[in-house]
Structure 1
């Protein structure tokens, strides 16, 4: 077994182990709130709170199963598209939360690793540490395990250079994705256009917006390179990696935020004010979801990546 493959396999086991505390905490929140012994998050009723955290329990179960699928023999027997889709969403979701976890640990910011979704009922410090450990550990583990798995399953996709493929028209989705990324970077830099409640912004929000913006621009640039087959001498694995992570970040995070923003826009809970204008946020996240999916389709349909 070559060294890179060994590192990827160990990282997959580590990712599954790291996410386990988050799963247990979320299960305890659901059971504790139903039993009336744990608090409910601000702005939520009991039903909404249970549904939201049940969804996150499901996400954690899928994340652990995904990590194991990347290393266990049965993972190679699962349809490739299913594993690829889950890996794409999972890695895209977690790549932007890593800086938040690191900033929270270093600066003691104590933010919500899910991007301000409103599902944190003033958790104890030890729970916050475990949640951040789960997200950081899962993100770092997938960062090593996913490429190793993809390389084992589709080795030809990572060889050659960008110029080996045919040239195509610049994809419209890359333009939309870059535009969305610039808006996020503008907000991360302190811009207030489109921000309804500037006082509600916090350090975690700025860091997340910066991460979303960076990966949206990186993914858009990567898809543009693949479509235009330029620069010709660039190793193909480089834009594939940035395109994979960038489009996954856009699709996963905006797919997660879109229903939450819609809920806040419709229900208008007094205890959960959005910093952004709800209409602007809805349009932005919808554009990110559509552009991320369209760019990923462009990436996998290029001849060098079709198997």
Structure 2
């Protein structure tokens, strides 16, 4: 067991452990609301509050199971593409949320008290700290555990150095360019650019911060995929750009895959009191392009070393 494998195992157990307080807090919210002991969140009825928090409990529980699958022996027997896809999407969400949560805490981006009660009762500070710690810890743990698991299950994909695999393809280079262009737009919005923004007054500091982080991960995905796919031999170990490319493409796919339905809902449904800062058509095009670019780039990252294989033969690329 080498250093990366030990770090991956520690990260997986740590991610499962640190998410447990979040589950317990959410369970207390549900039980307390049903029993009439705790307030219900602003804008929710009892049923909606219970359904929302029950769903987040299930998602957190799935995250814990996913983390344990990355380190326990039974995780090696699960269908490879399914585990890889879930880990890719989950880590993609969390690697963007991790720096956002840290910077939000340090800079006080959102400001004000966090509230969840119908009577305006503030969430206790310790509760908010535990929830944020759960997300930060899960993000850190998966960022280390996922590459370690993938290397343990498919060592040939991580072996060698950059340039000794398959060369680039035109489709891959196009996706690299699209990913870089998307990152440039998001960074432009993050620093205050207004082109493509329909409601400048709605741009909060948190929206700009998250746009900037997602823009940086888009650039990271493009740079890593370009380094792996261009076919020029270097002394850089293959696992380095593969790891950053995996996380960056996951961020592109996960966040835009979540934001695209929301954007289309606002654009087509016109819900009362709901608006987004960016032009909805521009946002829909960007998120669609990000989902496609992330998918093409991660396929190229895996394909460069022959794809994900098991003793029974090749699995489809994620």
**2:167 aligned with 1:167:** yes
CA–CA separation in structure 1 for the residues paired with 2:110 and 2:187: 22
Counterpart of 1:190? 192
RMSD: 2.7
CA–CA separation in structure 2 for the residues paired with 1:48 and 1:277: 30
Counterpart of 1:241? 243
Structure 1 276/124 Cα, relative in aligned 2: closer, same or farther at 3 Å? farther
**3-state SS, counterpart of residue 163 of structure 1:** coil
Structure 1 306/12 Cα, relative in aligned 2: closer, same or farther at 3 Å? closer
CA–CA separation in structure 2 for the residues paired with 1:284 and 1:34: 41
**2:219 aligned with 1:217:** yes
Measured after TM superposition, the shift of residue 258 of structure 1 is: 1.9
Contact 1:14-1:137 at 8 Å conserved across structures: yes
Measured after TM superposition, the shift of residue 34 of structure 1 is: 6.5
CA–CA separation in structure 2 for the residues paired with 1:12 and 1:197: 41
**2:139 aligned with 1:146:** no
Contact 2:260-2:284 at 8 Å conserved across structures: yes
Measured after TM superposition, the shift of residue 136 of structure 1 is: 0.5
CA–CA separation in structure 1 for the residues paired with 2:31 and 2:264: 27
Could you list the per-position Cα deviations for residues 197-250 of structure 1 after superposition, in whole angstroms to 9, with x for gaps in the alignment? 222222222221111111111111222222221354432112211210110000
CA–CA separation in structure 2 for the residues paired with 1:48 and 1:205: 26
Counterpart of 1:75? 75
Contact 2:167-2:304 at 8 Å conserved across structures: no
Alignment of 1:29-108 (within 5 A): 29=29, 38-42=39-43, 52-108=52-108
Choose 99-108 or 82-91, whichever is displaced more.
Answer: 99-108
Q: 1:204 aligns with which of 206, 210, 218?
A: 206
Q: 1:255 aligns with which of 257, 278, 289?
A: 257
Counterpart of 2:135? 135
Q: Structure 2 length as normaliser, TM-score?
A: 0.83
Q: 1:228 aligns with which of 227, 230, 250?
A: 230
Contact 2:197-2:279 at 8 Å conserved across structures: yes
CA–CA separation in structure 1 for the residues paired with 2:207 and 2:188: 12
CA–CA separation in structure 1 for the residues paired with 2:228 and 2:168: 9
CA–CA separation in structure 2 for the residues paired with 1:305 and 1:39: 48
Measured after TM superposition, the shift of residue 28 of structure 1 is: 4.7
Counterpart of 1:275? 277
Structure 1 38/186 Cα, relative in aligned 2: closer, same or farther at 3 Å? same
Measured after TM superposition, the shift of residue 153 of structure 1 is: 1.2
CA–CA separation in structure 1 for the residues paired with 2:58 and 2:292: 24
**3-state SS, counterpart of residue 87 of structure 1:** helix
Mark the structure with the bigger radius of gyration.
Answer: 2
Contact 1:99-1:207 at 8 Å conserved across structures: no
Measured after TM superposition, the shift of residue 54 of structure 1 is: 4.5
Contact 2:154-2:308 at 8 Å conserved across structures: no
Contact 1:110-1:128 at 8 Å conserved across structures: no
Q: Structure 1 length as normaliser, TM-score?
A: 0.86
Structure 1 268/30 Cα, relative in aligned 2: closer, same or farther at 3 Å? farther
Contact 2:39-2:116 at 8 Å conserved across structures: no
Contact 1:178-1:217 at 8 Å conserved across structures: yes
Choose 256-265 or 83-92, whichever is displaced more.
Answer: 256-265
Measured after TM superposition, the shift of residue 50 of structure 1 is: 5.6
